[in-house]
Amino acid sequence: MRLAAALVALGCTVGVAGGEDAMPQSLTGARGDPARGGAIVANRQVGLCLLCHSGPFPEERFQGNLAPDLRGAGTRWSEGQLRLRIVDSSRITPATIMPAYHRTDGLVRVAPAWRDKPVLSAEQIEDVVAFLMSLRD
């Protein structure tokens, strides 16, 4: 977990400071599982993605309209761009309403049970990235 946190800090700092909008390195050193990532995205207790996003999930009712549609995410953004947006979207858009799914430092108003804990693990982040990269249409 500490290694993943260090990679997040380094990736965000290097990527954004270098004028890039991506975190090219995997948090785990391995590709994620798209099937697990799809389950995380659609799960309203884990990823909560469909509160704000809509996408190719006909079985899911009440999808959001506050954020970009996830259809075609794999053609609109690179793997690194998706990773950075999930890890900490505020590195790109400081006033974003999207939660930082893998950042723990500098957050305010965090419930005691969640302090110093990311919303998603490094493996879960990579699974979601793999799933979003599979959305090509």
19 pLDDT band, cuts 50/70/90, is low
What does pLDDT average to over the chain? 88
pLDDT of 110 over the 50 cut: yes
pTM: 0.84
48-61 mean pLDDT: 94
- Inform me whether the pLDDT recorded for 3 exceeds 50: no
Domain count within the chain = 1
Give the domain range for residue 104.
2-134
How far does CA 5 lie from the centroid of its chain?
A: 14
**Residue 15 is part of a domain; what is its CATH number?**
1.10.760.10
- Residue 96 above 50 pLDDT? yes
- Measured distance CA(54)–CA(108) in Å, rounded: 28
For range 104-131, the mean pLDDT? 93
At residue 100, the pLDDT reads 93
Q: Looking at residue 13, what is its pLDDT?
A: 42
Of 23-27, 74-78, 110-114, 115-119, the one with minimum mean pLDDT is: 110-114
CA angle 52, 79, 101 (to 5 degrees): 45
